[in-house]
Amino acid sequence: MNYFNPKTAAERYSKGRPDFHSNTLKHVKDYLHLNKKLDKALDIACGTGLSTKALLEIATHVYGTDASQEMLNLAAHTDKINYSVASAEQQPFSDNSFDLITVSSGVHWFDIDKFLIEANRLLKSKSWLVLYENYFISEMVGNDNFTGYYAP
């Protein structure tokens, strides 16, 4: 059962998720010493696209997949992001396609063994798989008040 398939679940998700992804990807960019944009990045379990949109800051071609069409219906649509309905364990892309794959707060829904095999298939040599959760470090770009709201 996919708990995110109902339209009402996607609407609640869209309204309730904080947009911390740009800040997290800034830290990823610094950690990986990325001096220029990557060619292709994929965001798996992208939900309504907040985490996918943030990839535009570090990749030229950005893709997002989610198992729920309703989630993708509410995603931030732009001609710079390509969305597809797909499970994490079975992606619609060719082998060795991506420089970076990200998953934000979704990996606990996956069949982890099958997902890791799929991620390995999709990633180019010397590329990255980045899994991150929504543990906040009291930073949110554009919202200084967040620090007072949520202190670790």
Residue 5 in domain: no
Residue 55 in domain: yes
For 22-52, what is each residue's pLDDT tens digit?
888 999 999 999 999 999 999 999 999 989 9
Residue 67 in domain: yes
> In CATH, what number is assigned to the domain containing residue 86?
3.40.50.150
In the chain, how many domains are there? Answer: 1
Residue 86 in domain: yes
For 94-115, what is each residue's pLDDT tens digit?
999 999 999 998 898 899 999 9
- Domain of 125 in residue numbering reads as 39-133
Residue 28 in domain: no
Residue 19 in domain: no
Beta-strand pair 38-44/59-66:
parallel
pLDDT band at 120 (very low <50, low <70, confident <90, very high): very high
Task: Find out whether 68 and 126 touch, Cβ atoms under 8 Å.
Answer: no
